[in-house]
Amino acid sequence: MCGRFVRHSSLELIEKTFNVDRPAFEATQSYNIAPTQAVLAVVRNGHAGLVQLHWGLVPFFAKDASGASRMINARSETLATKPSFRNAFRKRRCLIVADGFYEWTGPKGQKQAWYITLPSDGPFGFAGLWELWRADDRKTELRSCAIITTDASPGLRDIHNRMPVILRAGAHDAWLDPANQDAERLQPILQNDCHVEFKRTAVSSRVNYVGNADAGCIEPLQGDADENHAPA
Question: Which residues carry out catalysis?
Answer: 2, 103
80 near 105, Cβ under 8 Å? Answer: no
- CA 206 to chain centroid, in Å, comes to 21
Which amino acid belongs to residue 92? R
Segments of 135-172 assigned E as strands? 141-151, 162-164, 166-167
What is the DSSP track for 36-95?
Answer: TSEEEEEEEESEEEEEEEEES---TT-SSSTTTTT-SEEEGGGTTT-TTTHHHHHH-EEE
Q: Which long-range contacts (CB under 8 A, 24 or more apart) does 186-193 make?
A: 186/89, 186/93, 187/76, 187/79, 187/80, 189/127, 190/76, 190/127, 190/148, 190/150, 190/165, 191/76, 191/150, 193/167, 193/168
- Cβ burial of 168 (10 Å; 0-12, 13-18, 19+) is middle
Closest of 62, 60, 18, 54 to residue 33, by C-alpha: 54
39 near 56, Cβ under 8 Å? Answer: no
